[in-house]
Amino acid sequence: MGNNLPDLYGAGDSARVAGPNVKTEESYRTAWRRDFARLIHCPSFRRLQGKTQVFPGNESDFYRNRLTHSLEVAQIAKSIAIRLNATNPLFKLKRHKIEPDIVEFAGLAHDLGHPPFGHNGEEALDECMREYGGFEGNAQTLRIVSRLEKKAVRELIDGKYEPFDSAKNDLRCGLGLTYRSLASLLKYDAVIPERGSDRSKPGSVMKGYYAEDAELVRKIKDNVINPEYDAEFKTIECSIMDIADDIAYSTYDLEDNLKAGFLTPLGLFCLDEDIYSFVSETINGRLAKQYTDVDYKMTPEAVKEVLFKIFYENLFEITDDAKKFLASKDLDRSEKLAVVAAQTQRSSRTLASDGYERSQLTSRLVQNFLHGVEVQPHRAYPQLHRARLTLPTFLEVEVLKNITYHAIIRSPWLQVVEFRGKDIVKDIFKALNSEDGTRLLPEDFKALCRLSGSVTRMRTICDFIAGMTDRYAIEFYSRLYGANHLTIHKPM
């Protein structure tokens, strides 16, 4: 089947949203490499260094932030693409090979839309925008690269360019990317539905893209596939990026937790039973969506079995020295168990505290997970081949990712910090949305708020807050409500 498929990339993929009047491509680099360059030089990418991954950035220079996380996702995603090109028959021919630069771009860009204070900041903005199209990190990522970044605009007939604060703000093209690069960021092929003022489910952020970006999504599909296609849309590059994100979460967030001392490998087996139930329920939900061809149900006991498999080599395998000691002594069963327990405890403590041991653990896990990527072919459109993890690998990744989330991110230590972050975001929104509140905005955002329509005003306020780093949001809040020394010299 593979050799008879169309080419993986066509002319429409390299077309740009800014139109044909932009500078032509250079002969020495591909359109995808140009997109990559535009991304790493843009302000939204730089601001990721000030956004929380798991632990607030002021806690330690060791912990990952959104920028370092994105770099790791990009590296893992590119490695997956290179490996698939080399080993999977679907990508044997040159015209069928995956472009690693697009996959790397998707990994670097996938978190651009995350607001300050992580998922609590996302929930806060979504609650504020519930009657105006909602807020969601992936939808905001698409909006940033296609509209908000100040790189490209469509050229007018008279040769002049429309300024950022024009009433015809639909002429803004963000980074002016190719349609295939934009497609690599389209994780959820659905418009975020109108929910009105319903707040019966606070925190239930809806996945998708904003209704105002529906026309852009249509153009992406028209250029990447064709206008007649109307089924689920998710490109091979996007599915690889999605896997890489899960791998990074499952390994490197665990490493940060081990370094912080909040978790030990052995402690993962001694959590509240409710956590194992939450993890199994979460995994079963994802299984139902992604593995409809597999008959498997995760249980709390199976979660512990997966953990045992992951950590057996580092924790539970008896060392040669221990074997010799047990063989040389006349010990009863309880005494032998005590020796093994002591070794296991020591191994767990070493794995958590020793940087070499932690590094070897995460390196081994990432390598194993990379080898667990498979591809479900699409019979008509190779663009829509779907990368996914084999079931055993998927279970390991999901157990590690979700055990960290439920045990630590939902813990009181981090929840206190994130609750405060949510409060800050909502209070800033309230101030900016008050009568004459837009006076507090920078000039370009203020100009957009003068446009007719409350939706435009609310979305502009939302865009401004979503672009804040954690530190800037705290500082902005303090300038509005706190007792800090006031200044007129610091720019907005």
pLDDT per position as a tens digit, 40-98: 999 999 999 998 887 666 666 778 899 999 999 999 999 999 999 999 999 999 999 99
Whole-model pTM?
Answer: 0.90
- The per-residue pLDDT for 487 is 58
Model confidence at 164: pLDDT above 50:
no
Crossing angle of helices 454-466 and 412-432, in 10° steps, is: 140
pLDDT per position as a tens digit, 169-183: 567 889 999 999 999
- The per-residue pLDDT for 339 is 72
What whole-number distance in Å separates Cα of residue 97 and Cα of residue 240?
A: 14
Highest mean pLDDT out of 148-152, 247-251, 258-262, 479-483:
247-251
Mean pLDDT of 266-292: 93
Q: Which CATH class is domain 2-243+378-415?
A: mainly alpha
Q: Boundaries of CATH 1.10.3210.10 in the chain?
A: 2-243+378-415
Among 156-160, 231-235, 310-314, name the one with the lowest average pLDDT. 156-160
Q: What b/e string do you get for 194-216 counting C-beta neighbours within 10 Å, with b at 16 or more?
A: ebeeeeeeeeebbebbbebbeeb
SS3 for the chain is: CHHHCCCCCCHHHHCECCCCCCCCCCCCCCHHHHHHHHHHCCHHHHHHHHCECCCCCCCCCCCCEHHHHHHHHHHHHHHHHHHHHHHCHHHCCHHHCCCHHHHHHHHHHCCCCCCCCHHHHHHHHHHHCCCCCCCCHHHHHHHHHHHHCCCCECECCCCCECCCCCCCHHHECCCCCEHHHHHCCCCCCCECCCCCCCCCCCCCCCCCECHHHHHHHHHHHHHHCCCCCCCCCCCHHHHHHHHHHHHHHHHHHHHHHHHHCCCCCHHHHCCCHHHHHHHHHHHHHHHHHHCCCCCCCCCHHHHHHHHHHHHHHHHHCCCHHHHHHHHHCCCCHHHHHHHHHHHHHHHHHHHHHCHHHHHHHHHHHHHHHHCCEEEECCCCCHHHCEEEECHHHHHHHHHHHHHHHHHHHCCHHHHHHHHHHHHHHHHHHHHHCCCCHHHHCCHHHHHHHCCCCHHHHHHHHHHHHHCCCHHHHHHHHHHHHCCCCCCCCCCC
Q: Which two tokens stand for residue 135?
A: 């807020």
| Residues ≥6 apart with Cβ < 8 Å to 89 | 2
